[in-house]
A and B are shown apart, each in its own frame.
Chain A
Amino acid sequence: MSGWLQFALLLALVVAIVRPLGGYMARVFAGERVFLTPVLGPLERVMRTALRVRGDGLDQSWKQYARSVIFFSLASWLLLYLVLRTQGAHPWNPSDLASAPWDVSFNTTSSFVTNTNWQYYAGETTMSNFSQMAGLTVQNFVSAAVGICVVIAVIRGIARRGDGTGAGGGGGKQSPGGLGNFWVDLVRTVVYVLLPIATIGALLLVTQGVLQTLGGPITVGTVAGGEQTLSFGPVASQEAIKLLGTNGGGFFNVNSAMPFENPTGISNFFEMLLVLAIPAALTGTYGRMVGNRRQGWAIFGAMVAMFIALVVVITLAEGHGSVAQHAAGLHTGAFDGSTGGNMEGKEQRFGIAGSGLFDTVTTVTSTGAVNSGFESLTGIGSLVPMIGLGTSEVIFGGVGSGLYGMLLFVILAVFIGGLMVGRTPELHGKKIEAREVKLAMLGALYMPFAVLTTTALAVGTGHGRKSIFSSGPQSFSESFYAYLSQGNNNGSAFAGYTGYVQPNGNNDGAFGITFADLLGGLSMLFVRFFPILVVLAIAGSLARKRVAPPGPGTLRTDTPTFVVLLIGVIVLVGALTFFPAFLLGPVVQSLTTSLF
C-alpha cells in the first residue's frame, strides 16, 4: 500500500512542478527577466562574452541552428575522447587508473555526448575523479542542454507566425523562418535551468549520504576482522545532473543501487523527481509558448496515462516473484517485515515498489540510471522497460528529446486523424503538408530501423556472442536490450551484456569487445543526431507557414479524444515494430515455468 502512495505522491509532485517550472523555462527562453537573473545574470554575460555572442544573437534558420548543434557536439566528442584517452596524466586520479582502450572510449564518448550514458565500463574501476568531473559531468550538462535547446527551437517553429513574429521569440530580432539562436539558448539552459537545480539537488543528495569528496579509496579493518576498501569520489555533483539531465551514467558500476549514490528511501524518491521534472515541465513550456496551455496538458496527459499503466504492470509482476525463485522453493508473498517478491538484484531500502517505480521512471525517460539489476527482472517485469524504450522514449522521454519525439507523433496523429474525418491536418492553425508528414515518418521509423538492424547484426552474425552472459531466451533479451537501449539514447542495461573485459579489476590488461563497442557507439550517434535534423527541418518549414484561424473544420489537438488518438498512434507504431522481438525474449520467459 505504501508503495502505491509513494507513486501517487510522485505523480502529484510532478503535476505540481509542470506549471511553475514550465513557465519559468518559457520566460528564460523568451529572454525575459526571471527571479534568478540578479544572481545568475553576471554568469550568463560572462559565458556569452566568452562565446562572443553579440546582443541576443542572430536568429538562426533551421540549417544554421542544426549546424551549430552538430559542430558543438562534434567539439564535445573530440574533447571528451581526448580527456578519456589521457587519463593517466590527470590530477585527481587516486587509484592511478590508466585509460580504457580506444574502442571502449569510443563507445563511452559517443554515449555521453548523445545523452545516452550507456556504460560498458565500470565507473569506480575505470574512471579517475578528473574524468568523472571534467569529462563526464560536463557532457551530462551540455548533452542535456542540447536536447532542451532543440525542443525550444522546434516549439518556436510551431509558435511563430509566418512573418517572423509571434510568441516564443528568443528575445532578439526575429527573421522569417528563424528558430532562435543556439548559443544563446545553450548558455541560458545551462545557467538558468540546469546549474541551479543541479547544485541544490547535489547538496540535498549529500544530506542523505551521497559522497562528495576528492579523497581516494581507503581500506578499513572490518568488525569481523576482515578488510574492506571503500571507493570515494565527487559523486553528488555528478548524481544530481545525471538524473536532472536524464543522462543516467553512474559514478559506480551499479549506478543508483550503490548506497553512496542513492542511500535512502528519500534520496530514491528525490532522484525520481529530478528525472521527471524537466521532461514533464517542458509540456508546460510548450503550452505557454504556443499560447495554448490546454495543448501542453493534453500532451502531458498522454504521457502520464502510459506511464501509470507501465508502473502498475511492473509493480505487480515483480511483486509476484520470478520462476527461478519459486523453483528454489522460496515463497514470494509479502508478509509483516518482508517485502516478498523478486528481490534478486534489488535493494532492501527500495523494495519492490521503489525499484519498479524507478525502473519505469528511468526507461520512459531516456535516463537509464538504475537502482536494481534489470537483468534479474521477471519476464513481464522486463517487458516494461522494453516498452518504455520501444515507444521511442516519448513518455516524458529525455530532456527535450522526449518532447520533440512526442511532437513527431502529434504530427502523425494529426495526419491520421485528418484522414479519418476528412479534414485538413493542422497543428495550431498551421497546415501539415506532404513535407512535414514525410519528415515525421522518417522521425518515427529511424529508431526501429537502428535498433532492429543492430540487434540483427549482433545476433545474426555471431559477433555479438562474445558479449553475452546469460543463456536461453535471456541471452536474446540481453542482446536486444543492449541495442534497444543504445538505439534510444537510454543507457539502462541488462548488465550481463558486455563490451569491456577487465580481468584485473582495473584498466590494466583490460580489452574492449570492438564489435559491440563500435556498433553501439555508431547507433547512439545516429539515433541522436538524425532526429534532431528531422525535427529542426520540420520546425524550419512550420516557422514559415501562416496561421489560419480555427474554423469548424479544425481537428482540435487539445481534447481528450486527441489524447486517445495520440496514445493509439504511439502504441501502434511501437507494437508493430517490436512485437516479434518482445515475443522472443520477455514474453517467452513469462509464459513458461521452465528454466534454461
Chain B
Amino acid sequence: MRKDIVTSLIAVVAFTLLLGLAYPLAVTGISQAVLNDQADGSKIVRDGKVVGSKLIAQDFRKPVLDADGKPKQDADGNPLLAPDPRYFQPRPSVTGYAANATAFSNLGPNNVATRDAIAANAKAYLDLEKPYDPTLTVARIPVDAATNSASGVDPQISEANARIQARRIAAVRHLPADRVRQLIEDHTDGRALGILGEPGVNVLELNLALDRATTTDGATR
C-alpha cells in the first residue's frame, strides 16, 4: 500500500517531466527548426506586415457609415458591418471570425433559431450577389454560403460559392471574368490523392491575389 503510494507520486512527477515538458519542448524545437512557417501559424505577410494566417478566415466586412460619416451601431451597440463588395466573402461565422475565442453555432436541426439564422444568411448573400446575377434565388445558393462553419474561421468556400461571387468581383473591380475565374482556380485546394476531404477556395489568399491583380492591371482599387 505504502509502496504503491510512493511509486504513484514518483511516477506522476517523472511522467510529467517526460511527457509534459521534454516531449512538447522537443516537438516544438524540431518543428521550429524544420517547419517554422507551419508551426508558427502559416502567416501571410504583405508589405512587411503580417496580415493574417492562410488557415484562418478573416472578416471582409466594413463598418456601415451614416450620413455624417460615423459608423452605425446595431441594437447591442456593436458597429454595424456590411460585406465589402470588392472582396470575396468567407462563410458566415457566429463568432465574427474570432480566432482567439472559437465556438460552434450550436444551432439544432429542427430549431426555429436555426431556420432564421440560415434564412438571414441566405438573404444577405442574395442582397449582395443578386445585382450581378439576376437569376440567383435562395434555392440556388450553395449550402456553405448560408450555413455557419464549425470553427467560425473556415478559411475556404466552395467552388460553386466562389463562382457566384466572381460576377460581383469582376464587375466591381473591372476585371475580365476569365481573369477572376483563373484566380479562383489558382487558389482552389483540391482533394489530396483525389479522395481526401473536399475542394475549397481559400478566401484570404484569393483576395490578396485580387488586390495584386487590380494594381498590376491598372484597374481602379
Q: Is A345 within 8 A of B104, CB to CB?
A: yes
Q: Which of B137-162 contact A (CB under 8 A)?
A: 138-144, 146-162
Q: Is B114 within 8 A of A339, CB to CB?
A: no
Between A209, A253, A344, A354, the greatest number of chain B beta carbons within 10 A of the residue's beta carbon is seen for A344
Q: Is B101 within 8 A of A124, CB to CB?
A: yes
- Complex CA gap A592/B122 in Å reads 23
Given contacts A213-B40, A229-B100, A376-B108, contact A338 B161 (CB under 8 A): yes
Between B7, B21, B148, B157, the greatest number of chain A beta carbons within 10 A of the residue's beta carbon is seen for B7
Residues of B within 8 A of A67 (CB): 1, 4
Q: Is A329 within 8 A of B139, CB to CB?
A: yes
**Of the candidates B14, B27, B59, B196, which one forms a contact with A203 in the assembled complex, judged by CB atoms under 8 Å apart?**
B27
**Of the candidates A135, A199, A263, A347, which one forms a contact with B20 in the assembled complex, judged by CB atoms under 8 Å apart?**
A135
Q: Is B27 within 8 A of A325, CB to CB?
A: no
Given contacts A211-B39, A348-B149, contact A133 B200 (CB under 8 A): no
Given contacts A51-B7, A343-B144, contact A234 B87 (CB under 8 A): no
Q: Is A68 within 8 A of B10, CB to CB?
A: no
User: What count of chain A residues pass the 8 Å CB interface test?
Assistant: 134
Q: Is B100 within 8 A of A337, CB to CB?
A: no
Given contacts A72-B8, A260-B56, A596-B112, contact A212 B106 (CB under 8 A): no
- Complex CA gap A351/B189 in Å reads 13
Q: Is A344 within 8 A of B107, CB to CB?
A: yes
Given contacts A2-B191, A5-B195, A9-B195, contact A348 B158 (CB under 8 A): yes
Between B23, B101, B154, the greatest number of chain A beta carbons within 10 A of the residue's beta carbon is seen for B23
Q: Is A207 within 8 A of B35, CB to CB?
A: yes
Q: Is B24 within 8 A of A133, CB to CB?
A: yes
Q: Is A471 within 8 A of B111, CB to CB?
A: yes
Cβ distance A361 to chain B, nearest Cβ, rounded Å: 14
- Complex CA gap A223/B21 in Å reads 37
Q: Is A324 within 8 A of B101, CB to CB?
A: no
User: Taking chain B's interface residues, is the majority helix, strand, or loop, or is none over half, making it mixed?
Assistant: mixed
Q: Output the nearest chain B residue to A76 by Cβ-Cβ distance.
A: B12
Residues of A within 8 A of B108 (CB): 324, 375-376, 470-472, 474, 477, 496, 589, 596
Q: Is B198 within 8 A of A142, CB to CB?
A: no
Q: Mark A326-345, 1 if CB is under 8 A from B, else 0.
A: 01111110011111111111
Q: Is A142 within 8 A of B19, CB to CB?
A: yes
- Complex CA gap A52/B146 in Å reads 60
In the assembled complex, A230 has its CB within 8 A of some CB on chain B: yes
- Complex CA gap A341/B144 in Å reads 9
10 further A-B pairs in the complex, CB-CB below 8 A; given A213-B41, A328-B122: A72-B11, A75-B12, A183-B11, A206-B38, A229-B99, A230-B100, A234-B24, A238-B24, A328-B116, A344-B105
